[in-house]
Homo-oligomer: A and B are copies of this chain.
C-alpha cells in the first residue's frame, strides 16, 4: 500500500462517495441478485446508476480504489462486487503519524 496512491484515490468526491456508501451498503442499495452485502459487496451497475455517471466512469473509479487497496473485489458470475477493505483503512490510520 503506497501512501501516495491511497491519497490520490481519496482525492476525488465521487470516490469518497463510493466509500461512504460502502460503509452501509444495505442503507444505500437495494440488492438485486444477492442481498449479502457484508460478505459480497455492491456491483458496478449499482454504482453506475446511483452515481449517475456512465458505466465506464463508475468502473474506472472502482478500479482506482482497488489499485489503492481500499476495496476488495470478488467476481460472481458476470458480476464484480466491491466492498471496503477495512484492513486498509486501519493501516492508513497507522500510517498517519508514523510514516506521514
Contacts and interface: CB of A to CB of B under 8 A. Distances in A.
Interface string A60-100: 00000000000000000000000000000110110011011
Prevailing SS type, chain A contact patch: helix
B7 A10 contact: yes
A39 interface: no
A89 B93 contact: no
This chain's copy number in the assembly: 2
A83 to B, nearest CB: 15
A3 B20 CA distance: 13
Contacts of A12: 4
Given A89-B96, A96-B89, A7 B11 contact: yes
A39 to B, nearest CB: 20
A7 B4 contact: no
A33 interface: no
Contacts of A92: 96
Contact of A16 (B3, B93, B97): B3
